[in-house]
Structure 1
Amino acid sequence: MNAKDLRIVFMGTPEFAVPSLRALADGGYNIVAVVTTPDKPAGRGRKLHESDVKIAARELGLPVLQPEKLKAPEFVEAMRALQPDLGVVIAFRMLPEVIWRMPKLGTFNLHAALLPQYRGAAPINWAIINGERETGLTTFLLNHEIDKGAIIDRLRMPIGEEDTVGTMYEKLMAAGVGLVLDTVDRIAAGSIAPTEQQFVDESTLRPAPKIFKEDCRIDWSWNGRRIIDFIRGLSPYPSAWSELRRDGHEPLNVKVFSARFEPKPTDALPGTIRSDRRDTISVACADGWIDLLDLQLAGKKRMTTHDLLLGFREIEEYAFPSVRE
């Protein structure tokens, strides 16, 4: 079957899915509908916010479906009426079986990790947090369990020493385009040989669960390498943070976006701060000092250490808690 003749339903929500959607449309693939989340109120004015995928679909002149419930009879019937040959999913909700089984050739997902490692909602973050030096992308067929379907193809990508979740997001988003197009072409040609994941030793796998605010709190009793990887894996979003504390003062939340580790024996209590009050803020950790380079005080804009110290010269009178409380 010619890949351009396939009736494709594309499902996605965030920016990560947009380049692949545009590439399919610009490449002449037959996208019969785009499924994304309903508009949601956001911001101070609570104005309705459209997903990145919806905005792109509208610009491309593609029909859009925004079901509240994926099992709703009206959505199921709308999908049947499309007579889809293939479903393509990138960063969307978990689909019910009635939907992912509907396309004649199945439904595949693009996942930002080398499955079976890093199943879950935040694979790019966790790969960097855990100090991995390689990640990648996987296309796989959907089944009853999250990220456990048969693997179609994988693409490996190195993680550089300076990479953050932000830079890897951009690299993987761009690289995903080629993998998605190739997967569609191979499915149409009948040339895929999916590899099942059920024989994997689950004890060897690292998960990638959704990240909440408390998960982002820095523990200064960790060793320096671990702290740097933790900061990189959360920068710029949702961002690593800690509390600045000083007797008699309210704690100040501080987000840390960039830092450098200086391995050096120290007797200082983890969380102790030293500064030249002009350009440097260093925090003691288990095996040296962490130099903070780019940070943000609660209620303030993001800034360099130099700029922060222009109005915060008493920084050494504060300390960070050494461990999570």
Structure 2
Amino acid sequence: MKSLKVIFFGTPEFAKTSLQAIHQSQHKIVGVVTVADKASGRGQKIHESPVKTFAVENHLPVFQPEKLRNPEFLKSIKDLDADVFVVVAFRMMPKVLFEMPKLGTFNLHASLLPDYRGAAPINYAVINGEKKTGATTFFINEKIDEGNILLQQEIEISPEENAGELHDRLMEMGAKLVVETLDGLAENSIEEKPQPDVEHPKNAFKIFKEDTRIDWTKDAETVHNFIRGMSPYPCAFTTLKIGGDEKILKIYKGKFEVLPHGKTAGSIEIDKHSFKIFAKNGIYYPEELQLEGKKRMNLKDFLNGFRQFDTISR
């Protein structure tokens, strides 16, 4: 099989797994482009992206441009004469860059396109109670996540799976799909296809802090799926009133029961053995929580430490 010269673009762990898979294949990585190192934490320690760490450990050329239109950066990339660019969890690319390689630039997206275009496809698939999702490789064009499809693969979502667990499974599956796509391009055996014309595709917009608040007026299953879809990151939250103070309570995991109760949505019942939160048509039972200023803990430890709650605020 023909070996392709690849330049890889990516940043987080999700992307690193694909980079590793390409590195272990017959294809040759001639360059890796990732985000600039950033200072974070109390000590403002410099942190590298997982993609950069892997590239450095494996002696791959690394580029960390502040601007993708920088003429020096563009010349350096062009001089590498790559056959194809592979993009996984990166930022938007200018046309002058993604049109550079002979075979084009393709992206790995963690959904069955055209559904769940956008920044948070894994979260929204779980939030919306989907029974399946998948991964898609597609050629990049000037519209976000709308290029021609190369390969797709489905995966089932289990009823209690959270976004983090699904992320890890899609990360592994997606890495294999990237290599399969490279193999297909090398052999000219993939027929690219336009994305299906769907009038109202499901969206996966970027999630902001205000989007993570739990709405207890929703039905219990919707609340449960919302919490699963936000776990472990960015994590769904509600608020507790404790001694007159309002505290943020993050909920990572729980169970629900559809049950008529006549209680106000968002009200609670709590004792040393149980914690109930009333939703529209049922009850939610938190199992893993984190109160503001405290560490994440299971329900038993939570109830041992905090018992004086007034109500939950919607």
1:272 matched to which residue of 2? 267
Residues 13-32 of structure 1: CA deviation (Å, up to 9, x unaligned): 00001121112112232100
| Alignment check: 8 A CA contact 1:220 1:321 kept | no
**Alpha-carbon distance between aligned partners in 1 of 2:241 and 2:216, rounded to the nearest angstrom:** 14
- How much is the aligned-residue C-alpha RMSD, in angstroms? 1.1
Residues 54-73 of structure 1: CA deviation (Å, up to 9, x unaligned): 00111111010000000111
| Alignment check: 8 A CA contact 2:277 2:284 kept | yes
**2:209 pairs with 1:216:** no
**2:285 pairs with 1:291:** yes
**Alpha-carbon distance between aligned partners in 2 of 1:178 and 1:312, rounded to the nearest angstrom:** 46
Runs of 4+ deviating beyond 6 Å? none
2:245 matched to which residue of 1? 250
Shift, 1:311, TM fit: 1.6
Percent identity over paired residues: 46
**2:28 pairs with 1:69:** no
1:127 matched to which residue of 2? 125
**Alpha-carbon distance between aligned partners in 1 of 2:275 and 2:292, rounded to the nearest angstrom:** 17
Instruction: State the TM-score, normalized to the length of structure 1.
Output: 0.94
Residue identity in the other structure for 2:198: D
Shift, 1:288, TM fit: 1.1
Q: 1:200 aligns with which of 179, 184, 197?
A: 197
**Alpha-carbon distance between aligned partners in 2 of 1:311 and 1:295, rounded to the nearest angstrom:** 12
2:157 matched to which residue of 1? 159
**Alpha-carbon distance between aligned partners in 2 of 1:202 and 1:184, rounded to the nearest angstrom:** 31
How many matched pairs?
314
Instruction: State the TM-score, normalized to the length of structure 2.
Output: 0.98
Residues 18-58 of structure 1: CA deviation (Å, up to 9, x unaligned): 12111211223210000000001111111211000000111
1:87 matched to which residue of 2? 85
| Alignment check: 8 A CA contact 1:280 1:292 kept | no
1:3 matched to which residue of 2? 2
- Give unpaired runs (5+ residues) of structure 1: none
Q: Pairwise mapping of residues 146-185 of structure 1 onto structure 2 (< 5 A)?
A: 146-185=144-183
| Alignment check: 8 A CA contact 1:128 1:232 kept | yes
| Alignment check: 8 A CA contact 1:254 1:295 kept | yes
Residues 64-111 of structure 1: CA deviation (Å, up to 9, x unaligned): 000000011111111111111100010001110111100000010000
Residue identity in the other structure for 1:212: F
Shift, 1:264, TM fit: 0.9
